[in-house]
Amino acid sequence: MNRLTKSCLLFGLNWLDAQLTLVWIRLNVATEGNALMARILEHGELTFLGAKLAVGALAAFVLYRCSHLPLARHGLTIVLGVYVALMGVHAATGCVALGWNAPVVVLEYFVALPNTLLALFI
């Protein structure tokens, strides 16, 4: 995948995250997890969406323009990984909103797994 595709994917995932966050908030299923974005959301959904998209566009642009640097290339890969994981959280939230809790149980298992494995060595 080339650097332009990755940067566009980052912006697209950022946009999808913003839209899904607004859906879950409207349905009273979840709240905004980022304290700064939660404060911006208090000023309205359009303000939240604008700020979220502006930050996402700036990050995608900077990582694209600096992709000749190893730090930016690795950073873009890490950020995409974080967003893919976040999409898993959104999927689990959607399942809960629809009354299906099994994905949450599986997600909780995987979240607790590192601590469980660490406890074996302590």
Q: Along the chain (122 residues), what's the average pLDDT of each consecutive run of 10 residues?
A: 93 95 91 93 96 96 95 94 92 83 77 86 81
The 3-state secondary structure of 32-90 reads: CCCHHHHHHHCCCHHHHHHHHHHHHHHHHHHHHHCCCCHHHHHHHHHHHHHHHHHHHHH
pLDDT at 101: 73
List Cβ neighbours of 20 (8 Å cut-off, separation of 6 or more).
90, 93, 94
